[in-house]
Structure 1
Amino acid sequence: MSDPARPAGALPLAGGWCWFDRVEVLSREEAPRIVGLGDLTEAERGRLSAPRPDFGDLSMDTPRVMGILNITPDSFSDGGLFLRPEAALMQARRMADGADILDIGGESTRPGAMEVSALDETQRTAPVIAALREGGLALPISIDTRKAAVAEAAFAAGVTILNDVTALRFDPAMAGVAASAGVPVVLMHSIETPITMQDDPRYEDVLLDVYDALAARLAVAEAAGIARDRLAIDPGIGFGKTLEHNLALLARLSVFHDLGVPVLLGASRKRFIGTIGAEAEAARRMPGSLAVALAGVAQGMQMIRVHDVAETRQALRLWQAATRGY
């Protein structure tokens, strides 16, 4: 909940802007049921209500906007627009006015995308990152990559966050590199590889399957030496999911708070938005993307990854003013 009629005894959700006074219990063995806060253990109450640690020097008590910068020729929405370093730098500076984090990637992970060599990916991203830092940009920058060599070069150039769409599964060296660098890490759920992930993806229960998979990847990251207070998760909307899978996840995004770490939502301009919103052109899906972003914020998502930074920032300001009453 986020309305002002908050009953006594309600708890903050993840220490943020939402509150709750009951929970839905989900199980593989029985139908969902609603219970009161008094039915929770102290540990369960703590996982759901405790403030999340800062992530990349950003407090998680307000929604954070992560701006997407694809330095690629073939990304599904903006491929080729920012491939030239000059264009990438201009777009990064433009987004920096409204973004809390810049997320820079040099390999498309759209459905059907082919793998890019680590060298090519590094040559696309590292010079832009270095130029931004040399130009005085102090904003947190994340590197969107699944390759350890690309991540290492990005860290050397000034990146402060790792965003791995495979949750450290693709490159066996990635977990060690991230642990040694000491950077915060976003673990995203995905299946297979971009070229095959949309080939009839199936789940027993998509919500609980994704939850369990992310819990397992958090354990792997911790075992590799990455402290839990440096980890965040992303349910991976659109990555190995059908429209129905995406909607099932969006309806109950708040379940992922039970993992006790910040949650990132990345749904900007995805295909399901075009399907439901009747817009075939990805670049024209900003209104639908805003609707999904605000639905995520209403469930306490701490980070929202978007292409349309200025529009998302404006929508967030209005949502916060309307729900807070000031």
Structure 2
Amino acid sequence: MNADAARTEARSLDRRWWVLIGIITVAAVLIRIYYVLKFRTDVTQNQLADGTIYETQAWGDGLVFSKQANLIADGDGLIAPLPFELVGVRQESADHPPLYTLYLTFWSLLGVRSEVGHMLVTTPLGALAAPAFGLLGRRLAGPAVGLVSALIGAFNPSIIPYPGFVLSEAVTIPLAALSAHAAYRTYDDPNLKNAAYLGGATGLAVLARAELAMYVPFVIIPLLLVVKRDRSWTQRLSMLAAAGVVCGALVLPWVGYNLNRFDEPVFMSIGLDYSLVQGNCDESYGYGDSNLLGSYWLGCMGEALEGTGLAHVDQSYGAAHLRETAFD
């Protein structure tokens, strides 16, 4: 087989691979839609931290994402939805990074405002795990492994439910896989273009889940400065700059926005402070009648804020108090 024939055959195989990935991705969307319509349309009664009974189809972070998107679409800004709805308090909010909220806001502007509606429009995001896993698998071990990886991304029962709970994990998982793909691609072929791709994928992932900022010190910097020692320092620093500029261009506007609107420093979100106190109290350690050993309890946050007057003021004050309480 001559070189031209080999290239033609390779392109044909690549097209067939992408067709199969497309079919798997469509199936991933459909199974997530089925899950939402079958299991997530019931209205449930839930208790807020202050004891208020609240009827909803989404809960916890999912309720915040859905209602916050509607508030932004209505021109009310990025504020905490429950204080605004229940007691009329406008409280600037940084519960989460903004990527998923802004995605839902787009749909809210188009008239998709219900919680189930937001679940359904999230199904394509969750289904992106299929092509993202596929790309990563192909990069690591070839096309066949890529197809198997795509099937895992499409049908893994541990990640199918996320759209049905209106959670940012639906988009975080594909972006985390894409960031890993970018890292391996940069490792195999270190150049400015791939470094910029790595920075962009990481920046988007950080805007979905703040924890993925750890990718910068633990993956990007070691990969570009230490691992690729066959490149000159000028080349390594240039690639690091390319990754940093693209990542920073995505993330820093959000950081600057937060630093401008809160009295205490808030960079990506205050979700860590919530998690620290909800997972570090008597109930989460299984004391008393609690069956929550090793888990979280929303009431821990309510108890920590009770009597402080911080629940409905600048979120950064409450976050600082929760952080101190968690380590007390």
Q: Fold-level match, TM-score > 0.5?
A: no
Alignment TM class, shorter chain as reference: under 0.3
| Structure number having the greater strand percentage | 1
- Ranked by relative contact order (alpha carbons within 8 Å, sequence separation 6 or more), the top structure is 1
TM-score (norm 1): 0.27
**Which has the larger Rg?**
2
The answer to which structure has the higher helix fraction is 2
TM-score, L = length of structure 2: 0.27
